[in-house]
Amino acid sequence: MNADRLAGRLMSGSPTTPEDGIEVVVGPQAIGERAEYLLASAEREVVVLDRPPYVKGQRQEGSSRPSGLDIGALLDRGVTVRTVLDRECVGHPGRMRSLTGLVERGLRARVASGVPTKLIIVDGRITLLPPGDASDPTASALVIGDALLRNALVPLFETVWERATPLGGSGGPLPEPQKELLGLLAAGLKDEAIARRLGVHVHTARRRISVLLDQLGAQTRFQAGARATLRGWLEV
């Protein structure tokens, strides 16, 4: 799903107006202002699908702001925020540290591979479909209030949410041997290299890795690293 392609199809036909249920917003500044206006109207819940690419410089500014949103301000107002981040987002420098603070403040975050689109839904009634590349001065976003499209996009978010991996909150300190093992996993070392670093047989290393994954409730090493970071068990 791509807002630019869909907007182009809409704009090539009969003009659309907000009364038609679909509003086409063109240009980064106009899109940003429209997003801020919609978020200011949020009363109950904002849900977000977040994936690259980002506007140049947004990786740093947006490290705590999925899709560039000020999530902290929404949480401070008592608005529930759920977000599914593409795995590539979480890998950006500093992103996990920023997410840690937001999760502690109430953000419900999950991670998935191949998030299909950027998407923001406010109170289940208004949907903002951002452009694929917001740095393009001709980029278009769609503000969707039409029930038919809205009822397709809300289930899309819920489907991606259900299939994504939760990122948990804080936990107790990790024993030093397990912390060392987790650090080796996060560094991407293979089992044989981990065994050599720990001075144990590879089968012993694999058994310890399995125990650690179970302790974190993780099915993959990526999930283990993400959850451990959010619990403060790894420095980012």
Tokens of 42: 């949020």
Domain topology for 176-230? Arc Repressor Mutant, subunit A (1.10.10)
pTM higher than 0.85, yes or no?
Answer: no
> For the chain, where do the domains classified as CATH 1.10.10.10 start and end?
176-230
Helix and strand numbers (H, E) in the chain are: 11, 8
- The residue written with tokens 């807002």 in the block is 3
pLDDT tens string, the chain, 236 residues long: the values are 554 455 454 444 444 444 447 888 888 888 888 888 899 999 999 999 998 876 554 444 333 455 557 888 999 999 999 999 887 777 666 676 777 778 878 888 888 888 988 899 999 888 888 876 666 778 888 888 877 677 888 999 999 998 887 765 444 556 677 778 888 887 778 899 999 988 899 998 898 888 888 777 677 887 777 767 666 666 54
> For the chain, where do the domains classified as CATH 3.30.870.10 start and end?
3-166
| Length of the chain as a residue count | 236
Looking at domain 3-166, its CATH superfamily turns out to be Endonuclease Chain A (3.30.870.10)
Tokens of 172: 């107790």
